[in-house]
Structure 1
């Protein structure tokens, strides 16, 4: 490759057309997202397995379906939440460039940058809007059903979710920038 051709490459671009690797900070942030989602997941799982979280038997039955379908719904929400959080890792891993072969229809194909970026930024915007709106009404949510230390613990376990949307947005912008810089 000539010097002129190498200068035409964007800084950090690979010669084979693949995007440059993510910076260390982006990898750390992407790994933090599933950890941020974990405390609220553990709270829901605790409820589902019968750990006393401060709700009365009546509230658990009426609002959360425990006993009953809540034994399936709450763990399903937990799996979906952690699964969505783990998708952030795709923005800093190879499977954010080429879809894993085991995926139906898209397996082994290159991930379209616009599709990944659009989905991730839309998700970040929705997560940010939902968590901020819920934080704004926190004083009135479940204030009669959950009191004292139980309410404080729940609040501390759900508070990290406020970071999910903004951190996803930061990693997404870095992903888009790296994908744009490929040779």
Structure 2
């Protein structure tokens, strides 16, 4: 069996694992935010949730939406190692079935990884920051642990992006 002339090499195993790990980095903090939105006792009193976060209310919609959007963006990393990152799925209107131009994936992914590194690197210093006065009990530490995986999102996305670029140049 011969390969088509425009076929690319499959993603290396390390890149596939890194893409899956990147997709999972937003899950712990997202689950914490969703628990917060439902008013569960995850570090803040009911009064703080009402006054500072507007939960229940529009604040709940915001934090759930933030969690969903974050995870959806994290899942896009999988496109750099899956066939749908090379050919747009047919069910997508207008562009379905077309090949993805490599730079159309590489440029947003590279910019995204830089933005993520800029945004989340400060979490490495979470434990050097004074505890939030409204947060009760051990939740300052728990929230730090739940948000810490986000520090890996940018570097993992960068590594997978480099792999994608090398396979498609």
TM-score, normalised by the number of residues in structure 2: 0.91
Deviates more, 1:164-173 or 1:69-78: 69-78
Tell me how far apart the structure 2 counterparts of residues 64 and 41 of structure 1 sit (CA, whole Å): 16
Counterpart of 2:81 in structure 1 is: 92
Tell me how far apart the structure 2 counterparts of residues 98 and 142 of structure 1 sit (CA, whole Å): 47
Counterpart of 1:5 in structure 2 is: none
How many residues matched? 167
Give 5+ residue unaligned stretches, structure 2. none
Pair 1:59–1:80, CA change in 2 (3 A): same
Structure 1, residues 54-109: CA drift from partner, whole Å, max 9, x if none?
11223212332201112211111111011001000000000110111222342221
Structure 1, residues 104-135: CA drift from partner, whole Å, max 9, x if none?
34222111111100000000000000001354
Are residues 1:122 and 2:120 paired? no
* Higher RCO structure, 1 or 2 (CA under 8 Å, sep 6+): 1
Are residues 1:75 and 2:64 paired? yes
Q: Which of 24, 34, 38 is the matching residue for 1:35?
A: 24
1:50: how far off? 2.0
SS of match in other structure, 1:27 = helix
Say which one has the larger Rg: 1
Tell me how far apart the structure 2 counterparts of residues 60 and 135 of structure 1 sit (CA, whole Å): 26
1:168: how far off? 0.2
TM-score, normalised by the number of residues in structure 1: 0.84
Are residues 1:178 and 2:167 paired? yes
Taking only aligned residues, the RMSD between alpha carbons, in angstroms, comes to 1.8
